[in-house]
Structure 1
Amino acid sequence: MQVDFYHLTRMPLERALPQVAEKVVANGARLLIVAAEEAQRLALDRLLWSYTPASFLPHARLGEGDDQRQPVLIAETLDAANGARHVALVDGEWRDDALDFDRVFHFFAEDQIAPARAAWKALAERPGVARRYWKQNESGRWEQAA
């Protein structure tokens, strides 16, 4: 399984997450987006409907639609009612249960570096876990740093 750490320095989550979600869905996979705070889940719900004028990303919040049919599902916990094998942890909080998925996208901001480093180090000891660390360069493009 693969864990991708995304250090948000130049691009906010509101721009980075839709890009990742679009790629997951375009590859025929499903995504679970996890955020502990209700306000963040509501904001992400609105964002995925309107982040570009020409398109939207079909999705729902857990329990508010036919969860099983959703390519992208937003939830408070790691309840992949849509059958997702990919999960995006968008609130900076690492959850060990995410290792039950095939791929994890762990987004964190500057003020969340210490817990992200702790998660990175802890995962080094886990067999079968491939870790990648992505940071943004001066032009805002993602570069693999580790």
Structure 2
Amino acid sequence: MSEVLFYHLERQTLEDVLPTLLEKTLARDWRAVVQLTDEERLDALDRHLWTYRDDSFLPHGSIRDGNAAHQPVWLTTGEDNPNGAEVRFLGDRAEPTRVEDYARVVLLFSADDEVAVASARRLWKPLKAAGHACTYWQQSAAGRWEQKG
């Protein structure tokens, strides 16, 4: 079964948190797919991943770039996994399908989005019941991620 991590974004945005999680994923020699629900938001994330830090960038691509099999991080609004990713990141209310196809699925949801929070709560029970190892992560006042569930 897969690990399913729920990241409750209360102090930071997706753009703040995702690059670090992607770096950790790539450090494990895993590939990733990032799924969002809106093309404009995906384009903004695409630009952000090239410039989020002065001394680094995250190699990635999308359907516009092609060569999916060579992309360590694939950006999409669909359910595709053309780079053979082991980890799927879902943001902006994207919901997981075929969780069992991944070693890890990471749901990132903003505390400011009541619909996204409700969706994450709704997804927890059936994923846990299906045998997936679900964990809930929340950021402490000091900014560290703490496992809560």
TM-score between the two structures when normalised by the length of structure 2: 0.92
Distance 1:93 1:65, change over 3 A: closer
In structure 1, the partner of 2:42 is 41
RMSD: 1.1
Asked whether the 8 Å contact 1:60–1:72 carries over to 2, the reply is yes
What stretches of structure 1 move > 4 A for 4+ residues in a row? none
Kindly state the Cα deviation for residue 62 of structure 1 after the two structures are TM-superposed.
Answer: 2.5
User: Cα deviations across residues 55-102 of structure 1 (Å, max 9, x unaligned)?
Assistant: 101001124231100000001112111111110001133223233211
In structure 2, the partner of 1:137 is 140
Write the letter of the residue equivalent to 1:72: V
Matches within 5 A, 1:41-120: 41-110=42-111, 111=113, 112-120=116-124
Write the letter of the residue equivalent to 1:141: R
What stretches of structure 1 of length at least 5 have no aligned partner?
A: none
User: Take 1:72 and 1:78, find their aligned partners in 2: how far apart are those partners?
Assistant: 14
User: Take 2:94 and 2:62, find their aligned partners in 1: how far apart are those partners?
Assistant: 19
TM-score between the two structures when normalised by the length of structure 1: 0.94
For these two proteins, the number of residue pairs brought into alignment is: 145
